[in-house]
Amino acid sequence: MNSLLSEHSRELLKENNCFDFIRYFFTISVFIGHFCVLNNIEYFWFINGETGVRAFFIISGFLIFYSHIEKQSIKYYIDKRVRRILPPYFSVVILSFIIGIFITKLNLKDYLTYTETYKYLIANLGFLNFIQPNLPGVFESNPITAVNGSLWTMKVEIMFYVSVPFIYYLFKKYNKLIIILAIFSLAIAYDYFFMSLYKQTDNQMYLLIRKQFGSQLIYFYSGTFVLLYFDYFIKYLKFIFPAAIVIFLFRDTNFILSCLSPLAFAAILIGIAYNFKYMNFLRRYDNISYGMYLYHYPIIQIIIYYKIAEQNIYISFCLALISTIVVSWLSWIWLEKPIITKKLFYKRVPRNSDCLL
C-alpha cells in the first residue's frame, strides 16, 4: 500500500465533493475577466481571471497527483493526460486558423502564404502561444488582437504534469515535507527575483517571465500539499479554514502573508469542495469546463469583430457565454469524450481525478 497517503486519507478522499461546481465557477470568472478586458470595459466581477487560473492550478495539483498516487503507472499517467489535454487544445488552434481565413483583412493567398500564419500554427500547437499570439489580418480592429490569450497557461500546465512523476519519486525517496518546502522556497525565490528585476528596470518582459512555471509551482503543489496531509486537513479544518480566509484576504499587507496565500487559497478551495456537498449535483453531468476555458477567448473576439458589443454589451455577453457553452458541449460530444472513453488498457479512475484545465 502506498505510504504517501494514509488509509484514513484514502477513505476521506472518496467522499462526495463539489470540484465540478468550483471548476465552472472559476471558468466563468475567467470568461468574465476576458470579456471585460477584450471589450475594454470596467470589470464587474469580484473574482479576477488571475485568481481563476491559480484556482485551476491548485485543484489540478490536488486531483492530478491523487490520480498518479492511485495508479502509480507512468504509461497510464501519460495516456490519460494526452487523451484529455491534446485533442481540444489542438482543435481550438486549428479552428482559429480556419476561422481566420474568413475574417482576415488579407486576401486568401496572402493569408495562406504569410510566414506569420504558419508561425502561429507551429508556435501554438507547440504550447508557445507567446511567440505568435496573432494571425495576420485577424482581429486587427479589435482593442486586443491576440487570437486566444487563454492559451498561455497551457505550457505551464503541461510542465506541471511533466513534473509530477519526478516529484512523486522524490516524495517516495525522501521526506515529503522537506521536498514540498523546497518547492515552495524555489517558487517564492523565482517570483521575488523577477519582480525585483521588473522594479529595477521597468522591463515588461520580466513580468511576463515572472508569471510562468517557476512562480506558479507554489499553487500546483499547494494542492498536492493538502492532499498529502488530507486526514489532518479535514480533522483541523474548523481552525484551518478561518485562518486561511484571513491570510488570503490580507495577503497584500506583508511578505509573509503573501508567501502563505497560495497554501491558504488551496485550503479554502479544497475545504469548500469537501464541505459544500450540496453543490455536487454537477457531478452527474459531463464536465465541459476545460472546453469553455479553451474556446471562450476566440468566441468573444469574433463577437467583438462583428461589432455586436457596440450595439448592446448585454446581448454580446449572453451571446458569447451561450456560444462558448454550445461549442464546448459539441467539442465534448464529438471530440473529447470519444477519445477519452476509447478502449483503454486500464480501468478508468473516477472522473473527479481527471485534469482541471
Question: In this structure, are residues 2 and 72 in contact, taking their beta carbons and an 8 Å threshold?
Answer: yes
Question: In this structure, are residues 332 and 291 in contact, taking their beta carbons and an 8 Å threshold?
Answer: yes
- Domain coverage including residue 167: 7-353
The reply to whether 2 falls in a domain is no
Average pLDDT over residues 51-77: 92
Identify the CA nearest to 186 among candidates 216, 224, 166.
216
The reply to whether 1 falls in a domain is no
DSSP for residue 208: H
Three-state secondary-structure class, residue 98: helix
Please provide the average confidence, as pLDDT, over all residues in the chain: 92
Question: In this structure, are residues 86 and 161 in contact, taking their beta carbons and an 8 Å threshold?
Answer: no
The reply to whether 293 falls in a domain is yes
Cell of 75: 504509461
Element (H, E) at 195: helix 176-201
The predicted structure's pLDDT at residue 260? 96
Tens-digit pLDDT profile for residues 134-162: 999 999 999 999 999 999 999 999 999 99
Average pLDDT over residues 192-208: 90
In Å, what is the CA distance from 43 to each residue of 38, 52, 55, 94, 204?
11, 14, 19, 30, 23
The reply to whether 151 falls in a domain is yes
The reply to whether 347 falls in a domain is yes
The predicted structure's pLDDT at residue 103? 95
Residue 94: Cβ within 10 Å count: 13
Element (H, E) at 28: helix 19-39
The reply to whether 174 falls in a domain is yes
The reply to whether 330 falls in a domain is yes
Element (H, E) at 12: helix 7-13
Phi, psi of 100 (to 5 degrees): -60, -30
The reply to whether 221 falls in a domain is yes
How far apart are the C-alpha atoms of 59 and 290, rounded to whole Å?
13
Tell me the residue type at 319.
Answer: L
What total of structural domains would you count in the chain? 1
Tell me the residue type at 70.
Answer: E
Residue 113: Cβ within 10 Å count: 12
Residue 45: Cβ within 10 Å count: 15
Cell of 39: 471589450
| pTM for the structure as a whole | 0.91
Tens-digit pLDDT profile for residues 91-134: 999 999 999 999 999 999 999 999 999 999 999 999 999 999 99
User: What value, to the nearest 5°, has the Cα angle with vertex 223 and ends 47 and 66?
Assistant: 130
The predicted structure's pLDDT at residue 342? 79
How far apart are the C-alpha atoms of 267 and 16, rounded to whole Å?
17
Output the CA torsion 202→205→211→215 (10° steps): -80
Taking the chain, what is the end-to-end CA distance rounded to the nearest angstrom?
30
Decide if pLDDT at 2 tops 80: no
DSSP of 140-192: TTSSS--S-GGGHHHHHHHHHHHHHHHHHHHHHHS-HHHHHHHHHHHHHHHHH
DSSP of 214-270: HHHHHHHHHHHHHHHTHHHHHHTHHHHHHHHHHHHHTTTS-HHHHHHHHHHHHHHHH
Question: In this structure, are residues 345 and 12 in contact, taking their beta carbons and an 8 Å threshold?
Answer: no
Query: What band does 357 get if pLDDT is binned at 50, 70 and 90?
Result: very low
